């Protein structure tokens, strides 16, 4: 994975596949740490499964035999002095927290978070994504449900909507001087 947005998309996709209806993505940045949290209300995992998810040769899929998503984000987090924490309860949901050393030379760049967030909001049918960014005192938040409410009977999956959301998130983050460098 070249950048953190790719990891984010990957982890959120896990939640979508776990039949989550609500997914919250927090990105919090302070002077030393960049923390990404993905919280969902999907199927969750039992303790036995939870112990196996960090193993690249474990997956719940049947289409292939490897599951690299979590091992890859864990590797990148650990390379920057951070770590990955996963909490899960069967039937309740899962929370994954990945902490990266913000100024560590090995931290991958954030990448295009605006387009990633826009695509996740419009590209996953039936999932409400709450996207929140916090950097110092500045905050930005948007959710799929808010957008759907505004759109009414217009399909959220239309390319025009995605493009609009992407620009909107980009401009708002710039306005708040939130830069992930």
- The torsion angles phi and psi of 11, rounded to 5 degrees, stand at -70, -40
Are 48 and 90 within 8 A, CB to CB? no
Cβ of residue 84: shortest distance to another protein, in angstroms? 15
Question: φ and ψ at 131, to 5 degrees?
Answer: -110, 120
Residue 42 and residue 58: Cα distance in Å, rounded?
A: 19
In the complex with another protein, the residue whose CB is nearer, 30 or 155, is 155
- Total of chain residues touching another protein, rule CB under 8 A: 46
Q: In 103-177, where do the E strands start and end?
A: 128-135, 138-143
Using CB under 8 A as the binding rule, the residues of this chain from 112 to 151 that contact another protein are 112, 115-116, 119-120, 122-125, 146-147, 150-151
Strand partners, 89: 93
Residue among 19, 29, 8, 35 at smallest CA distance from 126: 19
Binding letters toward another protein, positions 57-96, x by CB under 8 A: ----x-xx--xxx--x------------------------
Using the contact rule CB under 8 A, the part of the chain among 4-12, 22-30, 31-39, 88-96 near another protein is: 4-12
Label the pairing between strands 138-143 and 128-135: antiparallel
Quick check: 110 binds another protein (CB under 8 A)?
A: no
Contact status: 167 vs another protein (CB under 8 A):
yes
Q: Name the 3-class secondary structure at 67.
A: coil
Where along the sequence are the contacts to another protein (CB under 8 A)? 1, 5-6, 9-10, 13, 16-17, 61, 63-64, 67-69, 72, 112, 115-116, 119-120, 122-125, 146-147, 150-155, 157-165, 167-168, 171-172, 175
């Amino acid at each position: 994975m070249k950048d953190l947005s790719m990891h984010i998309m990957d982890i959120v996709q896990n939640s979508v596949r776990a039949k989550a209806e609500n997914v919250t993505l927090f990105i919090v940045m302070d002077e030393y740490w960049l923390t990404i949290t993905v919280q969902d209300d999907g199927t969750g995992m039992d303790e036995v499964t939870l112990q196996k998810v960090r193993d690249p040769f474990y997956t719940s899929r049947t289409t292939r035999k490897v599951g690299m998503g979590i091992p890859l984000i864990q590797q990148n987090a650990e390379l920057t002095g951070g770590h990955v924490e996963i909490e899960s309860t069967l039937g309740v949901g899962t929370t994954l927290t990945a902490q990266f050393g913000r100024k560590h030379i090995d931290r991958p760049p954030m990448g295009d978070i605006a387009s990633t967030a826009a695509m996740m909001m419009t590209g996953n049918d039936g999932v409400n994504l709450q996207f929140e960014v916090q950097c110092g005192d500045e905050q930005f938040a948007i959710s799929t449900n808010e957008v759907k409410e505004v759109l009414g009977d217009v399909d959220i999956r239309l390319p025009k909507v995605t493009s609009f959301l992407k620009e909107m998130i980009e401009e708002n983050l710039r306005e708040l001087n939130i830069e992930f460098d």
